[in-house]
Structure 1
């Protein structure tokens, strides 16, 4: 059996190991991240960004709820742990800041605040693999969209301090910057995606924005998710708000070969799923051991489809059923133990493991959330629709 076949078999055998539910104040689970345990004794943590403007922290193994951070007055966008410290967690905020908390402390106060420029509204962010640079992307205000950068050093020993930006990139996108993703092993490389359809790769070691822009790829749609893939992570891919998929090879930039590996206008039409039940994409994950890229998609009733990507096209690996009862909005894949965390509009956080048996008798609840929380199912849907008229 090849590594890819083994990997696909493993993904298809994922079962629910643990389940946690927001019972007190139901909310959509919009983003999930897992810390890297700093010691052998530590089981690590899970952080979840919720639609009720809060971040919730859980034990990674048990999914027991540990604590919560409320961000008022701003809406939180995304959640990321520091790479070298499993107790430090970040989130971008619509109030023009990126906040950083230390979950070892009892305080609700952020230990570090990275402040943007006046009128900045941050809707995406990431921290690079060496924990030295934070970057956040803004909504378009008048004619301006920015990638804002900060020095992230010293985050754990300067409680409550505010950091000013190192600088910005302002010329490379002309609409909301929906996603930012630093390279997993090269701290100077970052990719950004926008509702303008562009996916830009930068080398931030360069002196100015023009020189830093290594490549501009066009998805021809509004970008909803971006990531790195391939050996040494030399490939970039994205999904779009109208369920498209694009995949590029940066290793071909200086060759005569085309950089596009695959461009699928609508994954729902390209993947054969029973009853046409692929309704949306959540994002992608690259599996290092198998050297294989996968997409996650789903249904409004909570089924999760795992889709394999190849240059020849896309194919369904398997479907995870019986977990969520509504649209899945977020996930996090853990390479170490081959587990998958998923969060949805049913306010449930699920941990899937190969061959797991759920020990809980809790029934899967179908949950209707008050309309005030029913945000746009896809960010920036409205701008897409107006563009298509």
Structure 2
């Protein structure tokens, strides 16, 4: 295992503990969403100097943050009061909320997906009044959703992701156990789901690359890959670890981050009792996937005995950023 050292960091102030739930790389810096309902923008080279700007969101409770356009530093947020906001982090804090949409007053919004290619924004609701919905807006006319699917899932919609090169395809995951591939050019709910994978209550799921493979991670840490190609047996995993905690000797999986170059992904796994967080590469040789035990990167000390909630990689700069339930955001680099 190759270890990195913490080279910089900042602990959020205040007497109440703050969880930093998401960190998102943008052209103007590193955006961090936290349980105090804030969005803070940091200079990734100067974390300890504090945020460049701080925004207070207005969702009641912030549940999801996604990059809408990283190159233009635009992000979207949503939460328990059913609203969605777009923020332009290039602007002054007072002017940075550039759009606010009332999605639903009946249910909290739990998940988001964005496509700047098609000006599309999708949000998934919790189960309320026996219904869990996916709402999709065209941001050029955001007064009402252009599509609403009410029967794709039967429980909380916990994950949404547009395909990176075919944004008419929307992956959705739910606590009903399903990962669905939805063709959003269809308005008929009987036609919208073109592939379904029964994996277990979904914590994270997404497209692994620009082709047809997807990953799924359940709330009880079962991990598998699926292929939505027609040539693959429908619903069958092409790589399945079962409970990944016993496979890689960890206590939890924070997330799965696809590599920018399409060469697999990185799993971030933690062990609180060892105060250790590790990055494990998922690689493909021919048609076979495997977890590469030879290229594991360790972050000793991590976030102490608290969980790491988010991480992101800057391969060219050889730096990893993490955030956790201890209120810290940290940068990790090779030891000089």
Preserved CA contact (<8 Å) 1:96 1:121: yes
2:36 equivalent to 1:52: yes
Tell me which moved more, 162-171 or 288-297.
288-297
Once residues 90 and 334 of structure 1 are traced to their aligned partners in structure 2, the CA distance between those partners, rounded to angstroms, is: 22
The equivalent residue for 1:382 is none
Once residues 270 and 244 of structure 1 are traced to their aligned partners in structure 2, the CA distance between those partners, rounded to angstroms, is: 10
Preserved CA contact (<8 Å) 2:147 2:187: no
The equivalent residue for 1:201 is 181
Once residues 212 and 64 of structure 2 are traced to their aligned partners in structure 1, the CA distance between those partners, rounded to angstroms, is: 24
Aligned length: 324
Gaps of at least 5 residues in structure 1 are: 1-8, 38-43, 155-161, 358-389
Per-residue Cα deviation, 1:193-215 (whole angstroms, up to 9, x for no partner):
11111001112123433323121
Aligned CA distance change for structure 1 residues 101 and 243 (closer, same or farther; 3 Å): same
Once residues 318 and 161 of structure 2 are traced to their aligned partners in structure 1, the CA distance between those partners, rounded to angstroms, is: 22
Q: State the superposition RMSD in angstroms.
A: 2.5
Once residues 249 and 83 of structure 1 are traced to their aligned partners in structure 2, the CA distance between those partners, rounded to angstroms, is: 27
Once residues 116 and 101 of structure 1 are traced to their aligned partners in structure 2, the CA distance between those partners, rounded to angstroms, is: 16
The equivalent residue for 2:57 is 71
Give the one of 224, 235, 245 matched to 2:203: 224
User: What is the deviation of 1:129?
Assistant: 4.5
TM-score computed with the length of structure 1 as normaliser? 0.76
The equivalent residue for 1:152 is 139
Aligned CA distance change for structure 1 residues 257 and 201 (closer, same or farther; 3 Å): closer
Aligned CA distance change for structure 1 residues 59 and 312 (closer, same or farther; 3 Å): closer
Preserved CA contact (<8 Å) 1:183 1:189: yes
2:57 equivalent to 1:102: no
Secondary structure of 2:65's aligned partner? strand
The equivalent residue for 2:22 is 31
Tell me which moved more, 293-302 or 96-105.
293-302
User: What is the deviation of 1:288?
Assistant: 4.6
Q: Structure 1 or 2: larger strand share?
A: 2
Once residues 144 and 119 of structure 2 are traced to their aligned partners in structure 1, the CA distance between those partners, rounded to angstroms, is: 14
2:221 equivalent to 1:243: yes
Once residues 34 and 47 of structure 1 are traced to their aligned partners in structure 2, the CA distance between those partners, rounded to angstroms, is: 6
2:280 equivalent to 1:307: yes
Secondary structure of 2:104's aligned partner? coil
Secondary structure of 2:94's aligned partner? coil
Aligned CA distance change for structure 1 residues 245 and 256 (closer, same or farther; 3 Å): closer
Secondary structure of 2:190's aligned partner? helix
Preserved CA contact (<8 Å) 1:29 1:345: yes
The equivalent residue for 1:61 is 45
Preserved CA contact (<8 Å) 2:203 2:219: yes
Tell me which moved more, 304-313 or 49-58.
304-313
Preserved CA contact (<8 Å) 1:83 1:130: no
Give the one of 12, 25, 37 matched to 1:22: 12
Aligned CA distance change for structure 1 residues 229 and 87 (closer, same or farther; 3 Å): closer
2:122 equivalent to 1:143: no
Per-residue Cα deviation, 1:328-352 (whole angstroms, up to 9, x for no partner):
0112234554532211011111123
TM-score computed with the length of structure 2 as normaliser? 0.87
Secondary structure of 1:163's aligned partner? coil
Secondary structure of 1:61's aligned partner? coil
Aligned CA distance change for structure 1 residues 72 and 84 (closer, same or farther; 3 Å): closer
Moved over 6 A (4+): none
